[in-house]
Structure 1
Amino acid sequence: MSGLDARILAILHASQVHLFATDLAGQLGAPLANIEARLTELRNAGFEIEERPGLGFRLLRSPDRLIADDLHARLGPCALAREIVVFAETASTNDSATQRGRQGSAGGLVIFAERQTAGRGRFGRAWASAPYRGLWFSLLLRPEFPTNAWPRLTTWAAVSLAATIESSLGLAVSIKWPNDIFLSGKKIAGILAESGTDVNGQPFAVVGIGVNVNHAPGDFPAELAGKAASLNMVTGRTIDRPTLAANLLRDLDARLPQIASAFPDMIAEAARRSLLLGRWVQVQSGHTIMEGRAEELDADGHLVLRGSNGSLNRLSAGEVTVIAN
């Protein structure tokens, strides 16, 4: 597909009426023959574009596939997604984004994959990436705020994920600190934030996001049965993945400046959605295991744990198990 395709699709997505090819050519400043050729190619790619004599063209339905030009068309201006790459298959979108980061690629790159053969979550765990069922993507970022604040990126992504899914479905969405998203008691999304240095010694961050969208129960491995679910399984309806992807990128883009300018507000939203605060939990961090009541999230998004002796510990990461309310 071409950049012209994204511009055509943007107009068709926004239009509620049929448009003549000559109208499209005029709006885009492109030759009519090029517009007609691209409309044919878009149809061949699976876009259901109706043509009515005397009325023109109208987009009825997009394919259930992630297509870079279609995502650009839905997004509009979005600094976070300066470039979108979609792989039919890759080992890991985080690994692909990290490779581009090490080579010196600018921030604002989003890498999607319809299938991951080695998707991973925190602590090196495998992430089940059923093909054409979910959203598996990674953001390459070069944040302008100090690197000691980069751990805030996980809170940013978690709040944005929860808010976007909630607004799309109308169902309450929760965050299990630090990086899991829950709906109706089941995990439906996760986040993996990493960082590195490029060939010029400049730092970059990669934020990977996985969302279980249209999985059926049989799409999950046996060890996840009863623990994980998809948006489809919870709602009973098929979710439009490209629309959800565009909505999520748009929300992430809008919230990114708030990491530096309004992070307390983001912490407040994360706390409001928390599955842990006020509960007695066990946290494993490396080889250390501790128990206590999840008291609050501090100004940097760390979990504050109050032990049975009243001591306070501030945790930046860890594997959390809820023991009691």
Structure 2
Amino acid sequence: MKTTTRVLELLSSTSTYLSGQQIADQLQLSRTAVWKAIKALQDKGYAIKSKAHVGYCYVDDNTLNETLIKQNLNNSLDLDILLYDSLPSTNLKAKELSLDPTLKRPVVLIADQQTAGYGRYQRSFLSPKKTGIYLSILLDNDQVDFDPGLLTTATAIAVTRTLEKLFPITPSIKWVNDVLVDGKKICGILTEGIADLETQTLSQIVIGTGINFATPMTAFPPKLHQRIGSLAPYLAKTSVSRNQFIAEYLNQFFDIYQNYATGNFMPEYRAHCELIGKQVTIEQGQKQFNAKVSDINDHGALVLADGRILSSGEITKIRKE
């Protein structure tokens, strides 16, 4: 393990100041090695405060930190967490890692920035550095009849539970994969499968989540401001960091995931969904039509008033009554 990593882990595990000598003694390093490691961490952006004759103290200022994330995970979770300064896409990287047999599952990939983030239908997902949460989970799949819609809806509930636990927020869900706060999208979810060509089965799953956490609205084109939102206004009133949010989201996700195939969370999903009973415009491929939504079934599919059941598509407009 690198000296910088060891020093960061030690400082992250305490809220008090540690002297350079205490750090050196605990890690069996020289004072010079400690000083160089702290300087390197500060240069990389970690908020390590120093006080003369007292020592050093780490401050969680939203810089991604594996130690802080793991400290806030449920004791039952044993996850491989991989942090990246920048990736084209966490989902794409997860697909690459799916070929590595030495990595145990699940694997959590988190990037500080995405340069080619994408959502459904390959639409671009803006992912500016240091402010958002761009996270993918690589999972083995042992289900013969894997239901991607049900996993996407389960993930949406993991996000809403996290929001409700950490903020004074009542989020809503726009079928099938968007989580909204104050009527604006702050989170998108994308579930993708990885096929085993030899067995012709779906061997692994990638579930990607992109969240506008501390992202300022100036990061988005003005034409998106009516539809896209951010948690930034709520962060000003709380001390929640990206590391805390990520840990709580992972806690909620894996709590649901162990039994998600039962669909026992669907009543909660329906309660958060803003579509039931509404007249909407639906787009499927090149086709667009109007319909009334009567329900969402236990597989996360849209049930229309005329009896049709849709497992895919996009709601492009919700009519106000």
TM-score, normalised on structure 2? Answer: 0.83
How far apart are the structure 1 equivalents of 2:291 and 2:98?
39
How far apart are the structure 1 equivalents of 2:35 and 2:243?
19
How far apart are the structure 2 equivalents of 1:35 and 1:209?
42
Would the aligned equivalents of 2:155 and 2:253 in 1 still touch at CA under 8 Å? yes
Deviation at 1:82, TM superposition (A): 2.0
Deviation at 1:63, TM superposition (A): 3.9
How far apart are the structure 2 equivalents of 1:315 and 1:35?
64
Q: Does 1:323 align with 2:319?
A: yes
Across the aligned residues of Structure 1 and Structure 2, the Cα RMSD in angstroms comes to 3.1
Would the aligned equivalents of 1:114 and 1:131 in 2 still touch at CA under 8 Å? yes
Deviation at 1:4, TM superposition (A): 4.8
Cα distance change, pair 33–186 in 1 and its aligned pair in 2 (3 A): same
Deviations 1:190-230 (A, max 9, x none): 10111012576561111110100112221112331221111
Would the aligned equivalents of 1:5 and 1:69 in 2 still touch at CA under 8 Å? no
How far apart are the structure 1 equivalents of 2:29 and 2:312?
53
Question: Quick one: percent identity of the two aligned structures?
Answer: 24
How far apart are the structure 2 equivalents of 1:24 and 1:154?
44
Residues 29-108 of structure 1: pairs in structure 2 closer than 5 A: 32-34=27-29, 41=37, 44-45=40-41, 46-48=46-48, 59=57, 61-75=59-73, 77=75, 79=77, 82-104=79-101, 105-108=103-106
Would the aligned equivalents of 1:217 and 1:233 in 2 still touch at CA under 8 Å? no
1:12 aligns with: 14
* Paired AA for residue 279 in structure 2: W
2:219 aligns with: 219
Deviations 1:151-199 (A, max 9, x none): 3110111001011012111111111111001001111111011101257
Matched position secondary structure for 2:312: coil
Matched position secondary structure for 2:134: strand
* Paired AA for residue 177 in structure 1: W
Deviation at 1:138, TM superposition (A): 0.8
Would the aligned equivalents of 1:279 and 1:293 in 2 still touch at CA under 8 Å? yes
How far apart are the structure 2 equivalents of 1:219 and 1:160?
26
* Paired AA for residue 132 in structure 1: K
* Paired AA for residue 294 in structure 1: V
How far apart are the structure 2 equivalents of 1:32 and 1:290?
65
Structure 2: tracts of 5 or more residues without a match: none
Would the aligned equivalents of 1:276 and 1:322 in 2 still touch at CA under 8 Å? yes
How far apart are the structure 2 equivalents of 1:161 and 1:242?
15
How far apart are the structure 1 equivalents of 2:55 and 2:100?
43
How far apart are the structure 2 equivalents of 1:35 and 1:184?
52
How far apart are the structure 1 equivalents of 2:125 and 2:151?
20
Deviation at 1:67, TM superposition (A): 2.8
TM-score, normalised on structure 1? Answer: 0.82
* Paired AA for residue 277 in structure 2: G
Cα distance change, pair 217–20 in 1 and its aligned pair in 2 (3 A): closer
* Paired AA for residue 307 in structure 2: L
Larger helix proportion, structure 1 or 2? 1
Segment drifting more, 113-122 vs 214-223: 214-223
Structure 1: tracts of 5 or more residues without a match: none
Matched position secondary structure for 1:151: helix
1:252 aligns with: 253
Q: Does 1:287 align with 2:298?
A: no
Q: What is the aligned length?
A: 309
Segment drifting more, 66-75 vs 175-184: 66-75
How far apart are the structure 2 equivalents of 1:145 and 1:5?
42
Would the aligned equivalents of 1:188 and 1:228 in 2 still touch at CA under 8 Å? yes
Would the aligned equivalents of 2:171 and 2:272 in 1 still touch at CA under 8 Å? yes
How far apart are the structure 1 equivalents of 2:234 and 2:19?
41
Deviation at 1:98, TM superposition (A): 1.1
Residues 178-193 of structure 1: pairs in structure 2 closer than 5 A: 178-193=176-191
Would the aligned equivalents of 1:102 and 1:196 in 2 still touch at CA under 8 Å? no
Segment drifting more, 179-188 vs 202-211: 202-211
